Amino acid sequence: MSIRWSLVVPVKTLVAAKTRLAEATGPHRTRLAVAVACDTVSAVLACPLVARAIVVTADPAAAGPLGALGAEVVPDPDLGLNTALRTGAAHAVRLEPGHAVGALQADLPALRPAELAEVLAAAAEFDQSFVPDALDVGTTFYGVRPGVPFTPRFGGESRARHLAGGAKELLLPGVDSVRRDVDTPDDLRAALALGLGRHTAAVVSDLWPDPAS
């Protein structure tokens, strides 16, 4: 029987979210940040290996829509990204200690449930593992098997830190949507090429009526 997963998704306070997209998105920046998180969480909840999605956020503007999708919302202690992730993971273990626990970035608007399932199936083979971002600098996913200490090292050059911490790097073919996080307009165009989720697509259609422009 496949290991089931609880996935923790951290969502920043929206006023601080996606600052590098501000010039391209203008008044739509907050709306875009919510949409991207909604598409990420929707894909998580549609993944057959995921038992629950736990969103950690201090922003009610994000908590409402994400909770409506079916995520469990946990307050962010506002002590940094990795503390937020550990808070969500502790909640997950209290609810279901037999599940594997993973952290997934909230800015994966092209995320495909089937590709996430490929990652989770591979991650279940290792005590701790991670998926690098599309630039091979950061990390989009970090996970541990049931009972293994959850020690995320997100932020900046987190790929190197996860490797140094002994996590197995998962270099899988065909999981581009899991690696394509969005911080810049170029990232967003790359995600558009993969195929955006419906929430993000609706915002992008207002931003860029002609995607080729």
Residues in the annotated binding site for phosphoenolpyruvate: 139, 155, 158
Check residue 184 and report its DSSP letter: S
Query: Which residues, in sequence order, are bridge partners of residue 57?
Result: 11, 75
Helix H segments across the chain? 22-25, 29-46, 60-69, 81-95, 113-123, 158-164, 176-179, 185-194, 198-207
Count of other CB atoms within 10 angstroms of residue 77? 12
- Would you call 58 helix, strand, or coil by DSSP? coil
DSSP per-residue codes, 76-96: --SS-HHHHHHHHHHHHHHH-
Residues flagged as binding site: 139, 155, 158
In whole angstroms, how far apart are CA 81 and each of 28, 122, 173?
24, 25, 28
Tokens of 134: 């599309």
What is the biggest distance separating any 2 CA atoms in the chain, rounded to whole angstroms?
Answer: 50
